[in-house]
Amino acid sequence: MDELIFRGRDRYRLSWRHLIAPVAAIAVQLFLAAQDLSSVAFSWLTAGAFVLLAGGLWSSRRSWTRVGADGITICWGIGRGRTHPWREIRWIDTRDINGRTGMAYTARITLTNRRRRSLPALTDSATYPLPDFDADVQRIIDWWELSTDPSARFRPPQRLRDRIGPRTWGVVLGLAIAAALALHIFVLRHWLY
């Protein structure tokens, strides 16, 4: 089989449409900070915001995943990447993420230590659609099945965060915060009166 490589620079094209929201958020934060900060602090804050934005864009374009005879190599844009040999990979699947722009799907591997790793540049979303996502994931699975013994493969149990979506976590967190505030107010009233 031929070695597969998926690169962020082939997928993530920089466009003004994608930059509007982060630049607008930074501009609003800087405007609010300019009213309360000195000019030196404001300058540092501005430089830091743009370094973070540029660093995120730079690392996403430099990220890649390579699938070959030695295993799956993952690089998140810094360094040479880390190779996970086939003997360490127990499962390959996709994760569904329901975000602001709709559903996104990302390929991931589960290792022998039960840690999961997403594969960079293998994400299908409304912002960055990948028409061949299912075919690409199947090609990775074919490599995995060819390189491993069937007895070494197992489907990991679902974790709590896989079973409960972000909206449910938000509701639970909101209720916990509301309960903590109510308890705090009740205790304060009891102690003050």
**Would you state the torsion angle of the CA atoms of residues 108, 112, 114, 119, taken in this order, to the nearest 10 degrees?**
-20
Provide the pLDDT for residue 137: 94
Coil, strand or helix at 175: helix
DSSP result, 77-131: SSSS-EEE-GGGEEEEEEEEEEETTEEEEEEEEEETTS-EEEEEEEEE-SSS--T
Number of helices followed by number of strands (H, E) in the chain: 6, 7
Provide the pLDDT for residue 52: 85
Chain segment 149-163, per-residue pLDDT in tens = 888 888 887 777 666
Chain segment 13-57, per-residue pLDDT in tens = 666 666 777 778 778 877 777 777 777 777 787 788 888 888 888
Q: What sign has the CA pseudo-torsion 34, 38, 42, 48?
A: negative
Provide the pLDDT for residue 78: 86
Instruction: Give the pLDDT band (50/70/90) at residue 11.
Output: confident
Provide the pLDDT for residue 18: 65
| Distance (Å, whole) CA 115 – CA 96 | 17
Assign residue 102 a region: left if phi > 0, alpha if psi is -120 to 50, beta otherwise?
Answer: left
Provide the pLDDT for residue 161: 64
The mean per-residue pLDDT over the stretch 59-79 comes to: 91
The mean per-residue pLDDT over the stretch 79-93 comes to: 93
pTM over 0.85: no
Instruction: Give the pLDDT band (50/70/90) at residue 84.
Output: very high
The mean per-residue pLDDT over the stretch 125-138 comes to: 88
Spatial strand order in the sheet of 82-84: 4-7, 64-68, 71-75, 82-84
Task: Describe the crossing of helices 39-62 and 16-36 by its angle, rounded to 10 degrees.
Answer: 160
| Distance (Å, whole) CA 7 – CA 13 | 12
The mean per-residue pLDDT over the stretch 143-147 comes to: 92
Between 167 and 80, whose confidence is greater?
A: 80
Token code pair at residue 9: 């620079």
